[in-house]
Amino acid sequence: MSAFSAIGEEREIDREEFTPLQEPQPTWCPGCGDFGVLKALKQAMPEVGRTPDEVLLCTGIGCSGKLNSYFESYGFHTIHGRSLPIARAAKLANPGIEVIAAGGDGDGYGIGGNHFMHTARENHDMTYIVFNNEIFGLTKGQTSPTSPKGHKSKTQPSGSAKDPIRPLSLSLTSGASYIARTAAVNPNQAKEILVEAMEHDGFAHIDFLTQCPTWNKDAKQYVPYVDIQDSDDYDFDVHDRKEAADMMFETENALHEGTVLTGRYYVDEDRPSYGEEKRSIGEMPEEPLAERYYDEDYEWERSYDLLDRHK
Amino acid sequence: MTDNELIWRIAGGSGDGIDSTSQNFAKALMRSGLHVFTHRHYPSRIRGGHTYVEIRAKPEEVTSRGDGYNFLLALGDSFARNPKEGAVYGNEEIKPLSENLDDLREGGIILYDSGLVDASEVPDFEERVEENDWHVFDIDLRSMAREHGREVMRNTAGVGVTAALIGMDTEPIEDLMEEAMGSREGILEPNLTILHEAYEMIEEEYDVDHDVKLPEGDHEETQVLISGSNGVAYGALDEGCRFIAGYPMTPWTDVFTIMSQHLPDVGGISEQVEDEIAAACLALGASHAGVKSMSGSSGGGFALMGEPLGLAEMSETPVVLIEAMRAGPSTGLPTKPEQADLESVLYSSQGDSCRVVFAPGTPAEAYDQTRRAFELAYDYHVPAIVIIDQKLSGENQNVPESFFDREPNADPGAVLTEEELAEMPHDEAGKFKRFQYDPENGVNPRSVPGQKGGRFLVTGNEHSPYGHIEEDPDNRVFQMDRRMRKIESIREELDSDPESSHQTYFGPDEAEYGIVTWGSSQGAVREATARLNDDGHSVRAICVSDLMPFPETELTEFLEGVDEALVVEMNASAQFRGLAQKELGRFGEKMNSLLKYDGNPFEPAEVVEGFELQIVEDGTETPAANTRLEPAAGD
């Protein structure tokens, strides 16, 4: 038996396998967009062909951080903003596993903003889902990095003086090789995008619009949604960085008024993932590092062999 | 006076090649059969400033820099050249040659580059030379270097003159130069020419009548010259560590660099990342996925790691972190040593601390204790921290090569195989009950993502046996007790094998007085203890390396056996003394402090003086050097 026999197992996979048997009572409020993410993710898994045992889902803190409590796989519920550095190292240590990270807009674009930028820059082979409801939910409704300018909350009673983060543009500038926006109220598109993101070899960032019926009554702003890939009004080359940037610019400036555009914004299939880059320069082994600890025939080098330079 | 030891100081500006020259010369001395110890002093800048390296060489084992030195090789622009009055480099006043002479022993040698320095401009130079019976050699090393190559080769000229003056065979120096420069065309030959020319010039033109001679020594076996950082890195490699993540910060950078250079060769991964929070998180991520991994930093960077450190404790993810201390608070003295991060390492992060902390005192101990830290971290699923400091990380000491001739240990610790996992309790859907048992030692073996039937959730929140967030009071107490019990179990494991004790003792088995120290102050304490006993005192020393779990039994026995003890540490608030009192709950009356926090490590003579003043004189006198007998502000 191999040390990681779950990896690469080929069989029919049922989405219900991803529902925990002893599912904790969700702490999400009725009508919360997070249910939509969970549902879309479960629906995507059979198409991706991964079993629960070969998936690692790392989350941050906040309502979104509970995602892996309700999703059956290996899970690491980490700390605020830090799901990405934990997830990307797990992927480097064992490239055979499917690594997904998830967090909220405060978690991912606020406290974890630096990690987001650098994980995108390095193009780690993983999927990153950001639950974007433009509010801090679990801490009871404070202004978040994506809240629109002028947004009033208990911590910014006069209305935020800050421009919101533009997640898609930030992601593109940072170097993500797959960028999409979808919405919890749009489950079919969400599932399709999740499948693509997981199959993409590189850093796939999904800005996942979720509504917060409790703390952000403006959640209605996301209606109506238009799929940019289905609409004749938006014709651009998703592989062209500049055209993608222009589309994002247009969309992100208009996010809070009128139509909300969702779909794929940028896809770069040519750029090697970080793991591949590291392997190509000899900084990462060909075989998954984690397997070595279970290989009884592997010969471990000793530091003794390095001592010549100290004599 | 004959010292029967050489303490050679090469001084100049950063960027003058002081480091590489001294490293090679130290090896040459070691190859000549001597024991060597190097001490590096440098400012926080890239070029210029006052830098020196001291190499102490003796026929017997050396563990500290010693007191003062007996041979000065003064090189370098900003340092040796006589500055104009009030000249500054950056914001620091340029110090003339004279300042460097303060610690030069009587009868010592001054070799300065007359191409750079005019000694007649050094205040009171002649008088001081006469008073101290110094032997002065003014040699135009610069011209010699220029004539044959480039100016930087004046280092080689200086080494050649040194060898001639102390009666040293140049062969080991030549061999090392060949090893270091052989592959670079046009470098080796002129250097060898300069070396010989300098050597012969002294033999032919100078009368040598000083007593500073190369002592004779002989090693029974091959020696290697390694630093504390080498010790940590090699210990980690031998323990199967194949993943490191870090962010550069002095002096942690040494360990990070050594690991980064070797890991790719052995199929490991090194990651330089965006900040220290990320670095520690990466180490956790790799460890969670099944790879033995480490991270680390120095003071300020380690402060950022508090958050992932707590996550490692709560999620029971094994990891080894290195804390290479420098003087604080904040950025403090970036290139100077201090032992003042003890409390932050023990207690940083929220909640009750559940971690292992070791502070090795020598490069060899750094190797041993890093290996032990990995072993315990992976067996018990706790973070283990190895504290070193700027002194230990940068100083080099010879260690017999055979010390490292040990088997690697790639055992991933308390991890289940898939066969074992299949036997473990699962729910009907196949979820593994990761935290369900109440094992005696507190450790529930884990599974690794990708293993069939091993899936579980782990979280920084308090959690149920399945890993789900759980706030039930009974479960909380159960889980908390189980985690805390791991530290007790580790203490029992450490105590059960006295042979593997990390505490080091010096002096007679029974003595009237004690000296207690920890970490890198060990070397100075060791030498001071020997001198005090030679001087007729009865002194025994314990150098504590286990900081958490604390070696309660060992230290209690030690303190019960002495009338009074001096606690020697490099900080202003007596942190170790405070820890000992907290852990032991007594001995407050028996422990007295000797503290130093001026940016320089203890010299043995300071410990001797501190002992005389604090123990013999009962603390009625104040010490003359930059040491203190009590914490800075009250206590």
Question: What pLDDT score does A264 carry?
Answer: 98
pLDDT at B635: 47
Mean pLDDT, residues A183-210: 96
Query: Does residue B468 carry a pLDDT above 80?
Result: yes
Please name the helix (run of DSSP H) or strand (run of DSSP E) that holds residue B248, with its range, or none. Answer: none
Of A12-16, A180-184, B94-98, B223-227, minimum mean pLDDT range: B94-98
Beta bridge partners of B40: B53
Average pLDDT, chain B: 92
User: How confident is the model over B272-285, as pLDDT tens digits?
Assistant: 999 999 999 999 99
- pLDDT of B499 reads 82
Chain B environment of A93 (Cβ under 8 Å): 243, 269, 285-287, 289-291, 293
Least-confidence region, from A147-161, A204-218, B40-54, B517-531: B40-54
Asked whether the predicted pLDDT for residue A27 surpasses 50, the reply is yes
Tell me how far apart the alpha carbons of residues B310 and B313 are, in angstroms, rounded to a whole number: 5
Q: Two tokens at B307?
A: 């958050």
Give the closest-approach CA distance of A236 to chain B in angstroms.
34
Separation CA A97–CA A94 (nearest Å): 6
| Confidence check: pLDDT of A192 > 70 | yes
Question: What integer pLDDT is reported at residue B89 of this predicted model?
Answer: 55
Test A74 with B449 for CB contact under 8 angstroms: yes
What confidence score (pLDDT) does residue B181 get?
Answer: 86
pTM for the full predicted model: 0.96
- A72-76, A294-298, B397-401: least confidently modelled range: A294-298
Q: What is the C-alpha to C-alpha distance for residues B514 and B508, in angstroms, rounded to an integer?
A: 10
pLDDT in tens, B555-587: 999 999 999 999 999 999 999 999 999 999 999
Q: What is the dihedral of CA A25, A30, A32, A37, to 10 degrees?
A: 50
Say if CB A142 and CB A136 are below 8 A apart. Answer: yes
Residues in B closer than 8 angstroms to A55, CB to CB, are 449
Asked if the Cβ–Cβ distance from B429 to A21 is below 8 Å, we say yes
Question: What is residue B13's predicted lDDT score, i.e. its pLDDT?
Answer: 73
Residue B364's alpha-carbon distances to B2, B11, B244, B506, in angstroms, are: 30, 28, 21, 16
Q: Which pLDDT score, from 0 to 100, does residue B547 have? A: 98
First to last CA, chain B: 44
pLDDT of residue B96: 57
CB spacing of A293 vs B27 below 8 angstroms = no
Vertex B155, ends B153 and B160: CA angle to 5°? Answer: 105
Q: Is B541 helix (H, G, I), strand (E, B) or coil?
A: strand
Q: Do B307 and A6 touch (CB under 8 A)?
A: no
Question: Coil, helix or strand for B41?
Answer: strand
User: Would the CB atoms of B454 and A74 count as touching at under 8 Å?
Assistant: yes
Amino acid B49: pLDDT? 64
pLDDT value for B584? 97
What pLDDT does B79 receive?
46
One-letter amino acid of B262 = H
Task: Using CA coordinates, name the residue in chain B closest to A297.
Answer: B410
The whole-number pLDDT of residue B436 equals 79
| Cβ B394 vs Cβ B374: under 8 Å | no
ipTM of model: 0.98
Sorted by sequence, the CB contacts under 8 Å of residue A284 that are 6+ apart come out as A92, A275, A278, B264, B269
B418 contacts in chain A (CB < 8 Å): 1-3, 5
Between the two ends of chain A, the Cα-to-Cα distance in Å is 44
Q: Is the pLDDT of residue B332 over 60?
A: yes
State percent of chain B over pLDDT 90.
79
Give yes or no for residue B87 having a pLDDT over 60: no
Asked if pLDDT for residue B94 goes beyond 80, the answer is no
Sheet holding B564-569, edge to edge: B504-506, B539-544, B513-518, B564-569, B591-596, B627-628
Chain-chain contact of B410 with A290 (C-beta, under 8 angstroms): no
Please list every residue in chain B whose beta carbon sits closer than 8 Å to the beta carbon of residue A76: 285, 288, 315, 457-459
Q: What percent of chain A lies above the pLDDT cut of 90?
A: 88
Is a pLDDT exceeding 80 seen at residue B21? Answer: yes
Residue of B nearest to A16 (CA): B429
Tell me which chain A residues have a C-beta less than 8 angstroms from the C-beta of B243: 89, 92-93, 289
Which whole number is the average pLDDT over A270-276? 98
- Return left, alpha or beta for A141; rule: phi > 0 is left, psi -120 to 50 is alpha, else beta: left
Distances (CA, A) of B125 to A65, A288, B105, B160: 71, 66, 15, 25
Examine the pLDDT at B627 and tell me if it is beyond 50: yes
To test the contact with chain B by mutation, choose from A14, A58, A74 the residue with the greatest count of B C-beta atoms within 10 A, namely: A74
Which is higher by pLDDT, B18 or A34?
A: A34
Given this model, what pLDDT does residue B519 score?
98
Amino acid letter, B495: D
CB contact under 8 Å between A93 and B225, yes or no, is no
Average pLDDT over chain A, rounded to an integer: 94
The CA angle B146-B15-B271, to the nearest 5 degrees, is 135
CA B234-B66-B590 angle, 5° bins: 90
Which of the four pLDDT bands, split at 50, 70 and 90, describes residue B465? confident
Q: Report the DSSP beta bridge partners of residue B52.
A: B11, B41
pLDDT at B152: 80
What is the tens place of the pLDDT at every residue in B225-235?
A: 999 999 999 99
Cβ contact, residue pair B452, A53, below 8 Å: yes
pLDDT of residue B119: 76
A chain contacts of residue B304, beta-carbon cutoff 8 Å: none
> What b/e sequence results for A116-129 when a residue is b if at least 16 CB atoms lie within 10 Å of its CB, and e otherwise?
bbbbbebbbbbbbb
Q: Could you give the residue ranges of the DSSP H alpha helices within B497-570?
A: 522-534, 552-560
Q: Is the pLDDT of residue B460 over 50?
A: yes
Is A57's pLDDT higher than 80?
Answer: yes
In percent, the amount of chain B with pLDDT more than 70 equals: 94
